[in-house]
């Protein structure tokens, strides 16, 4: 009688694979930060945290996000300036203001703004 253990998932040889994070937002979506007063348009997504430990440790511990979730690169703006932000999924929500983002890099990456979303220029597709 063959008593060999059967792998749980024959494709991965029985190795338990980490849970795959699902991105709630897409490139071109306009979002706002849940805790800080800024909005932005998403131009890139990391499936999990992909920044430096120094950057991560600079976030106050009581509001530090988990690393095992999507992180978004934003062309961001607030009342004072425009900049690039890196934000966890748990700290973002959809922006339903229908107002465009005023950032100098928008025209270089996106070619239109319709129904609250930006459309990437064809040369910027992943």
Three-state SS for 42? strand
Instruction: Using the predicted structure, report yes or no on whether residue 120 has a pLDDT greater than 90.
Output: yes
The predicted pLDDT at position 21 comes to 74
Mean pLDDT, the chain, integer: 87
Model pLDDT for residues 16-57, shown as the tens digit of each residue: 655 667 899 999 999 999 999 999 999 999 999 999 999 999
pTM (whole model) above 0.85? no
Of the pLDDT bands very low, low, confident and very high (cuts 50, 70, 90), residue 4 is: very low
């Amino acid at each position: 009688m063959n008593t060999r253990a059967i792998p749980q998932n024959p494709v991965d040889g029985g190795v338990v694979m980490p849970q795959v994070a699902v991105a709630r937002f897409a490139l071109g979506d306009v979002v706002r930060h849940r805790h800080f007063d800024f909005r932005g348009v998403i131009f890139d997504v990391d499936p999990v945290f992909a920044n430096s430990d120094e950057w991560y440790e600079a976030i106050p511990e009581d509001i530090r996000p988990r690393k095992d979730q999507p992180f978004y690169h934003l062309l961001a703006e607030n009342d004072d300036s425009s900049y690039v932000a890196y934000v966890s999924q748990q700290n973002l929500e959809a922006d339903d203001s229908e107002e465009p983002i005023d950032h100098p890099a928008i025209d270089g990456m996106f070619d239109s703004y319709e129904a609250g979303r930006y459309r990437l220029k064809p040369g910027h597709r992943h």
